[in-house]
A and B are shown apart, each in its own frame.
Chain A
Amino acid sequence: MPEKRIILKNCGVIDPGDIHTHLAHDGFKAWEKARNEMTPEAVVAEIKTSGLKGRGGAGFPCGLKWELARREPADEKFLIANADEGEVGTFKDRHLLRHDPFTLIEGMAIAAYAIGAKKAYIYLRAEYHYLLEGLEVAIDQVKQKGFLEHLDMEIHEGAGAYICGEESALMDSIEGKRGEARYRPPFPPTKGLWGKPTVINNVETLMNIPTIILQGSKWFRGIGTEQSKGTKLFSVSGDVKKPGVYELVLGSSLQELVVDLAGAKSIKMVQVGGATGGIIPYSMITTPLAYETVLGSGAVTVFDESREILDFLHRTMEFLAEESCGKCTPCREGTEAMMEILGRLTTGDGKQEDIQALEDLSATMKLSSLCGLGQAASIPVLDTLKYFRNDYETRIKQSVFLRSLRGML
């Protein structure tokens, strides 16, 4: 399937500092259509019918999320654009925010109208502080054109914490607390920010909205696969000739992305979806990229044949242990324990029982962690155990042998 520019259509085309260039490319026509010709319920229904799913990683149906918040009786509701793009290997939202802030704001104007929110936040990660000014200018220009009369829009800057990309931690962060995951239910569309119904959408998800409203859900449903409608942005990095942001129709093959477009050679494996993303060995390089298979945030990190599995895993687990918010035990202790075991395996102190220990820990963490960080932390471990078990076993055998020599000396 080909490259297709729906989300990226304005990037490099408009001037992100001048709303007139955006208006010249159908900017805010979708918002005008929604406002003048559609009820909020009709907007929700249109997005629901489109089959659009969240682009931040979890893939929750966007229309359903909106409907839940819409139906919840409350004196106040909130919309949050999640621009805390902290997932390792993901930089698509940075690209979007820099090159086309207007479409995000338009998507938010429509979303807020649909769910009945009068206040919206853009939660921008501190690492992207250099994008703040451009966003502020864009919001001002949109306001001056009279497109935000129904909505108070504010940028809330983070302060450096991976976990704050997780929606419940993000809300705690806005509330001025440590960004720790919440127990759910209740889910944000029922009780979110300050206990009020809240919709949190990824930047890319929101940027799909204007086009869907203008072209219709039927058109959108015609793109992609059974469960995965539309296009998706992929952030490609690692061992490739041309790292960058690519937009493909969902269901396109991993091979097309990393080999044909990004120019990867002698691939060992590809991780899709960030630090806790699934591992695809080269033998499965034709795997389609979709919600049915692998997708996540669309982070695609390529490893060539020179790369060591255990070294990569140990670094990944170090990261997860560091960024675990610490609220629930399975994640806080589990990531630490896994880091220790993987460190042992890396430095040649591994034991045969370590593989079983990793599998046991994985099962517990997956079942009982509070949020996606702990639940998914073991995915790269389990996937590499499935596809590269030999790497583990060879390392352990060598370690045991070397240690026996040491004992003899």
Chain B
Amino acid sequence: MKPIQQEPSRSGRERENLLGKLKEAQKKFGYVSREFIAETARSHGLPISEVYGVTTFYSFLSTRPLGKYVIRICKSIPCYLKNADMIINSVALETGIRPGQTTADGKFSFELTNCIGACDLAPAMLVNHEVYGPLTPGKIAEILKACK
């Protein structure tokens, strides 16, 4: 095994781009793989556990492959008050998957998320980086249909 190279840190700021790098991998591959974590740890002179710890801390980074379209439905109180449960059910119905799952064809991943700052549009969701609201089951069908 190749020894881990640990460059003496000059400014201690080599890690600044770590999150960016992990996000790039997420964007490019749809997840942050074990291999990528190990490789990044090596190139930054950090323990693998450290990079894994960072990866799993943030909800927009995933260690399992996500679909082309990631649906994130807000489950926080303001959306809940506006019947987010109905939206959760109708996304489940449309996609055939439950929160935490990805469709077999890799098209959709379905996640529940905390407040996305769209409470005036409640019930709201993000599909990748687009925000949608106020949602109805009818609108859900329309939005998901437009995802090619």
Contacts and interface: CB of A to CB of B under 8 A. Distances in A.
Interface residue SS majority, chain B = mixed
Interface stretch (A56-64, A80-88, A361-369): A80-88
A77 to B, nearest CB: 15
Contacts of A312: 77
Interface string A306-341: 010000100110010011010000000000000000
Contacts of B13: 175, 194
Contact of A235 (B80, B114, B120, B129): B120
B36 to A, nearest CB: 15
A160 interface: yes
A86 B120 contact: no
Interface in B105-148: 113-120, 122, 126, 129-131
Q: Binding site of A, secondary structure by majority: helix, strand, loop or mixed?
A: mixed
Given A89-B77, A127-B116, A127-B126, A161 B16 contact: no
Interface stretch (A41-49, A239-247, A385-393): A239-247
B9 to A, nearest CB: 11
B117 A239 contact: no
B18 interface: yes
B76 interface: yes
A14 interface: no
Contacts of A190: none
Contacts of A175: 13, 15-16
B17 interface: yes
B56 to A, nearest CB: 9
Given A162-B114, A194-B13, A243 B119 contact: yes
Contacts of A402: none
Contact of A130 (B59, B119, B130): B130
B78 A89 contact: yes
A91 B80 contact: no
Contacts of A85: 117
Interface string A118-142: 0000000111111000000000000
Interface in A169-194: 173-179, 194
Interface in B77-97: 77-78, 80-82
B142 to A, nearest CB: 19
Name the residue in B17, B58, B78 with the highest tally of chain A Cβ atoms < 10 Å from its Cβ. Answer: B78
Contacts, number: 121
Interface in B46-76: 53-54, 57-61, 75-76
A316 B78 CA distance: 11
A89 B15 contact: no
Contact of A307 (B17, B19, B81): B81
Of A159, A173, A236, which is in contact with the most chain B CB atoms at under 10 Å from its CB?
A: A159
B100 interface: no
Contact of B117 (A127, A178, A179, A322): A127
18 contacts: A85-B117, A86-B114, A88-B78, A89-B115, A94-B117, A127-B113, A159-B59, A159-B60, A161-B59, A162-B114, A162-B115, A176-B54, A177-B54, A194-B12, A238-B78, A275-B115, A316-B77, A323-B114
Interface of B: 11-13, 15-20, 22-23, 53-54, 57-61, 75-78, 80-82, 113-120, 122, 126, 129-131
Interface of A: 85-91, 93-94, 125-130, 157-162, 173-179, 194, 235-239, 243-245, 271, 275, 299, 301, 303, 307, 312, 315-316, 319, 322-323, 325
